[in-house]
Amino acid sequence: MSSVVVVGLQWGDEGKGKITDFLASRADMVVRYQGGNNAGHTVVVGDDEFKLHLIPSGVLYPGIKCILGNGVVVNPAVLLQEMADLKKRGIDISGIRISDRAHLVMPYHPMLDQLDESSRTVGKIGTTGRGIGPAYVDKYARYDAIRFVDLLDPAFFKERIAEVMAIKNNLLDKLYGHEGFDFSRIYKEYAKYAEELRPLVTDTSVLVNAAIKQGQKVLFEGAQGTLLDIDHGTFPFVSSSSSAAGGACTGSGVGPTKIDKVVGVIKAYSTRVGEGPFPTELPENMVSLLRDGRGREYGVTTGRPRRCGWFDGVLAEYSVRVNGVSDLVVMKLDVLDKIETIKICTSYQYRNTFLKEFPASLKVLAECTPVYEEMPGWRTDTTAIQEFKDLPVQAQNYLKRIAELADAPIAMISVGWRRNETIINHNIW
Binding site for ligand IMP (CB under 6 A): 11-13, 38-40, 125-128, 130, 132-133, 223-224, 228, 237, 239-240, 273-274
Give min distance, CB of 240 to ligand IMP, in A. Answer: 6
- Mind giving me the DSSP string for 39-90? --EEEEETTEEEEESSS-GGGGSTT-EEEE-TTBEE-HHHHHHHHHHHHHTT
Distance (Å) of CA 423 to CA 5, 27, 54, 309, 396: 20, 19, 28, 24, 12
Give min distance, CB of 32 to ligand IMP, in A: 12
**Cβ closest to ligand IMP, residue 97 vs residue 267:** 267
How far apart are alpha carbons 36 and 109 in whole angstroms?
Answer: 12
Nearer to ligand IMP, 128 or 326 (CB): 128
Burial (0-12, 13-18, 19+ Cβ within 10 Å), 155:
exposed
- Give the amino acid at 424: I
**Dihedral angle over CA of 292, 330, 57, 235, nearest 10:** -80
Active site residue 41: yes
Instruction: Tell me how far apart the alpha carbons of residues 361 and 359 are, in angstroms, rounded to a whole number.
Output: 6
Contact 226, 8 (CB under 8 A): yes
- State the minimum distance, in angstroms, from the CB of residue 156 to ligand IMP: 29
* Closer to ligand IMP by Cβ: residue 13 or 281: 13
Residue tagged active-site, from 21, 28, 41, 109: 41
DSSP 131: S
Report yes or no: 103 and 139 within 8 Å, Cβ to Cβ.
yes
Residue nearest to ligand IMP (CB): 274
* Closest CB to ligand IMP among residues 176, 372: 176
**CB nearer ligand IMP, residue 242 or residue 326:** 242
Count of C-beta atoms within a 10 Å radius of residue 89: 10
Beta bridge partners of 51: 42
Hey, how many other C-beta atoms are within 10 angstroms of the C-beta on 284? 8
Q: How far is the CB of 220 from ligand IMP (least distance, A)?
A: 16
CB of 247 to ligand IMP, least distance (A): 14
Decide whether 12 or 246 has the Cβ nearer to ligand IMP: 12
Closest by CA to 224, choosing from 199, 251, 201, 243, is: 243
Q: Answer yes or no: 103 catalytic.
A: no
Which 8-state DSSP code applies to residue 156?
Answer: H
Could you tell me the smallest distance in angstroms from the CB atom of residue 141 to ligand IMP?
16
Least distance between ligand IMP and beta carbon 40 (Å)? 5
Identify residue 397 by its one-letter amino acid code.
N
Q: Which is nearer to ligand IMP, 212 or 365 (CB)?
A: 365
**Residues taking part in catalysis:** 13, 41
